[in-house]
Amino acid sequence: MDAYTLVSNLTTIIFIIIILIIFLSMAIKVVREYERAVVFRLGRLLGAKGPGLFFIIPFVDRLLKVDLRIVAVDVPEQRSVTRDNVSVGVDAVIYYKVLDPVKAIMAVENYSYAVLMLAQTTLRDVIGQVELDDLLSKREELNKRIQGILDVLTDPWGIKVTAVTLKEVKLPDTMLRALAKQAEAERFRRARIIEAEGERQSASIMSEAATFYESHPMAIRLRELQTLIEIAREKNLIIVTPESRGEILGTVVGLTKGIQVGRKETSTSSPMKASSESESET
């Protein structure tokens, strides 16, 4: 065997090895634990493969990978009118996962896009069936209601909707002001009720205290003294007790009588003084 033949054979062997390496790299496939590969052979479904290592026939088999993890879909703001004719904007988040990868590929063209469109229409339909108060106060019930509807509709696709969360409810400015006034009026009403209840309890307790003081006269006297002690803490106040009122009244009466007597004496002494002056002039 000459050198030319040896080199030609060696080149052929190397070429075959390279072809085999390329073929094996295309035939060997690996999918992760959270993935499945749906395999088609010449257009016919073979089934789902994985997880792990498996083989396909290059240029004959075609595979599509499906993620089995939970996917979060952000539903953009949907404008709708509630049952009581209030225009609102609501956005939400949908959580779903693929349970059957074969159905997800065979039943719908693009299952992620289909779930998003279905979530938008369902969200608008549910908003149109509820009133504004329920939309604001019963969001948990609405989440479960939307989730139930989506779960039923996506079940033939092999998809499970795990949760639905309404993120934000946008209201018109006029409605926001009306809700603020309503909340203010409600707070004012509660304050008035609490104040009236306090007055009722206070009146009941004061009635009981009055009954007790009526049967125990000394108790009201002790209470009066206690009140005087509390008032006496202010240095710029003058305290007038019942006893001091009597003393002051007597003093005022005495001073009044003294003033009246002084005026009478002055009036009687004035003619006498005038006659003595006339005699001295004579």
pLDDT digits (tens, 9 = 90+) for 231-249: 667 665 565 655 544 444 4
Angle between helices 217-231 and 173-215 (to 10 degrees): 130
Average pLDDT over residues 74-100: 91
Taking the C-alpha atoms of residue 158 and residue 99, their distance in angstroms, rounded to an integer, is 5
Taking the C-alpha atoms of residue 47 and residue 37, their distance in angstroms, rounded to an integer, is 8
What is the model's pLDDT at position 256? Answer: 57
In this predicted structure, which of 60-69, 153-162, 169-178, 270-279 has the lowest mean pLDDT? Answer: 270-279
Q: Is the pLDDT of residue 150 over 60?
A: yes
What is the model's pLDDT at position 2? Answer: 63
What is the model's pLDDT at position 236? Answer: 58
User: What ranges in 138-172 are assigned the alpha helix state H?
Assistant: 139-154
Average pLDDT over residues 82-87: 87
In this predicted structure, which of 11-25, 46-60, 190-204, 239-253 has the lowest mean pLDDT? Answer: 239-253
What is the model's pLDDT at position 255? Answer: 52
pLDDT band at 108 (very low <50, low <70, confident <90, very high): very high
Average pLDDT over residues 103-120: 93
Q: Which domains does the chain have, with CATH numbers?
A: 1-67 (no CATH), 70-171 (3.30.479.30)
Which residues neighbour 133 within 8 Å (Cβ) at sequence distance 6 or greater? none
Taking the C-alpha atoms of residue 72 and residue 161, their distance in angstroms, rounded to an integer, is 10
Q: How far from 242 is each of 94, 216, 239, 252, CA to CA, in Å? A: 80, 19, 10, 15
| DSSP of 114-138 | HHHHHHHHHHHHHHHTS-HHHHHH-
Give the tokens for residue 2: 């000459």
